[in-house]
Amino acid sequence: MMKKYNFSAGPCILPQEVFQEASQAILDFNNSGLSILEISHRSADFVSVMEEARNLSLKLLGLENKGYKALFLQGGASMQFLMTAYNLLEKKAAYLNTGTWATKAIKEAKFFGEVVEVASSKDKNFNYIPKNYKVPTDADYFHCTSNNTIFGTQMKEFSSVAIPLVCDMSSDIFSREMDFSKFDMIYAGAQKNMGPAGTTLVIIKEDILGKVSREIPSMLNYKTHIEKDSMFNTPAVYAVYVSLLTMRWMDRKGGVKAMEELNNKKAALLYSEIDRNELFKGYAEKEDRSTMNATFNLTDESLKDRFDELWKAEGINGLNGHRSVGGYRASMYNALPPHSVTTLVEVMQELERKA
């Protein structure tokens, strides 16, 4: 079997040792003689998985004992587009529009009240992060997207706002150090840095809840899930377990600080090749480049078939850009080994030699 270099945008590569443990637990979980897939979610073994996962997510972000609750919910980040507004939007909310996902979040919020788009980078097909916008102080909350998976831009600064700050961190959670206590709510679909598809991490400061006048159906109410420690109904047992394995791996490796160092190195390596090599150009504005998703194009489209052939022959996977951008996207999540980036850079250089 050929070695694969997996640059998939999500679901994406997870650490090899996580795959090993995850595979073993399907046959025998914790030496119980039972598969992790066949145990009750109310069993002591799984209750402790859920608890450790909730605690570890807070620990990795430095948010322990600061009034936050961590939940693992179903529905993906897309369900959070809806739930944030259902739970927090009384009259008006402020949104920063930095891409496809932010646009979808705005669409769902409009079901529940007025949405002020404080700024948008749609004018340049989201290849930059708007700056110097003003957030209305009378909005119920301000929502932003830390990393734009599709366009390869990433927010480097989060201005302090006087209203609750809500952030979709689906594609760069656990990738860098930051004062996460700036945020009143953070959510992230697991399927990038945290684990497999099927669970969504929601971290929420309890004191922002209970301020809307509408009634909220049980399953959509954060309070329901907080009261039941994320076990109101059957959770996505296996997705939570593999997320825990992945968070343990991050913790062992030195946490978010160590992840950031590695991510910066990988990103620097690839972006410097994109800039140096005349056959390639980056898609995003330099100052807004994402360390997670590098988007780039060929300067000469006629080289497309040759380049595609080269990287595929090398065992590279998942490099095609999203249809709304075209070109290429190299996703370099936490678990991607630096060697994978080196391999991609070599292929880019090989194209240069052969072109």
Ligand X SMILES: Cc1ncc(COP(=O)(O)O)c(C=O)c1O
User: Residues comprising the binding site?
Assistant: 42, 77-78, 101, 149, 168, 191, 233-234
Count of CA atoms in the C-beta half-sphere (13 A) of 276: 11
Gap between the Cα atoms of 190 and 38, Å rounded: 22
Per-residue mark of binding to ligand X, 63-92 (x: CB under 6 A): -------------xxx--------------
Which residue of the set 140, 172, 184, 192 is catalytic? Answer: 192
Strand stretches in the chain, DSSP E: 5-6, 68-73, 92-97, 114-120, 142-145, 147-148, 153-154, 165-168, 185-189, 200-205, 280-282, 293-298, 316-317, 328-331
Binding flag, residue 79, a copy of itself (CB under 8 A)? yes
Query: Binding site for pyridoxal 5'-phosphate: which residues?
Result: 77-78, 101, 149, 168, 191, 233-234
Per-residue mark of binding to a copy of itself, 298-317 (x: CB under 8 A): -----------------x-x
Helices 338-354 and 304-313, axial angle in degrees (round to 10): 140
Q: Which does 168 bind (CB under 5 to 8 A by kind): ligand X, Mg ion, a copy of itself, none?
A: ligand X
Residue placing its CB nearer to ligand X in the complex, 84 or 171: 171
289: which DSSP letter?
B
Binding flag, residue 72, Mg ion (CB under 5 A)? no
Q: What is the closest distance, in whole angstroms, from the C-beta atom of residue 84 to a copy of itself in the complex?
A: 12
Look at residues 10, 304, 300 and name the one whose alpha carbon lies nearest to residue 171. 10
249 is catalytic: no
Q: Judged by CB under 8 A, which of 141, 142, 238, 296 binds a copy of itself?
A: 238
101 is catalytic: yes
What residues between 46 and 75 interact with a copy of itself by CB under 8 A? Answer: 74-75
Q: Judged by CB under 6 A, which of 108, 168, 273, 288 binds ligand X?
A: 168
The terminus-to-terminus CA distance of the chain in angstroms comes to 29
Which residue of the set 101, 172, 184, 288 is catalytic? Answer: 101
Q: What is the DSSP pairing of strand 328-331 with strand 293-298?
A: antiparallel
Gap between the Cα atoms of 112 and 97, Å rounded: 18
- Region at 119 (left for phi over 0; alpha for psi -120 to 50; beta for the rest): beta
Whether the Cβ atoms of residue 116 and residue 141 lie closer than 8 Å to each other: no
Residue placing its CB nearer to a copy of itself in the complex, 78 or 159: 78
Binding flag, residue 101, ligand X (CB under 6 A)? yes
Residues involved in catalysis: 101, 168, 192
